[in-house]
Amino acid sequence: MTSLLDRGRPYAVALFRIVTGLLFASHGAASLFGVLGGAHGGGTVPVGAWPGWYAAVIQLVGGVLVLVGLGTRAAAFVASGSMAYAYFSVHQPGALWPLQNGGEPSVLFCWAFLLLVFTGPGALAVDGLFASRPTAVRSRDGRSPEAATA
């Protein structure tokens, strides 16, 4: 049974990545474009407003990158940091515990993205397309094997 679970791990990580990225991107789209109920129950965040507009851009772009699995570790690192910032600057001053200060989504996103920094994108990621490409082997002088024999 363990081998079945081990074989499924990359797909479970991929599903986790896809769902987390989609939810994060949805928050950004809601804040920037007023879709899905808009920012905080309606409307959009004014362009350039600190920190809300910048957070929304990170949410949308980072969420989409994580969703498709492109630059997953870097995007997840930035997204995790933005959620840590959101928690400590917006939520934590209101109360100690996330349940009391409304910071549960920030905490969960922060730790979910930090997990992806360490696990990577899993299966079904655009990153995997680039990693599976064969690279030309170079000789010591930097030439490809074909050029070295010519």
- pLDDT tens, 131-144? 766 555 555 655 55
Tokens (6 digits) for 75: 């995007």
Percentage of the chain beyond pLDDT 70 is: 87
Mean residue pLDDT of the chain comes to: 89
Residue at 37: amino acid letter: G
- pTM value is 0.83
* Residue 38, token pair as written in the block: 């808009």
pLDDT higher than threshold 80 for residue 121: yes
The reported pLDDT for the residue numbered 91 is 94
Q: Which of 119, 4, 14 has its CA nearest to residue 73?
A: 119
Tell me the range of 33-37, 82-86, 132-136, 146-150 where mean pLDDT is highest.
82-86
* Mean predicted confidence (pLDDT) in 69-92: 97
- Per-residue pLDDT at 99: 94
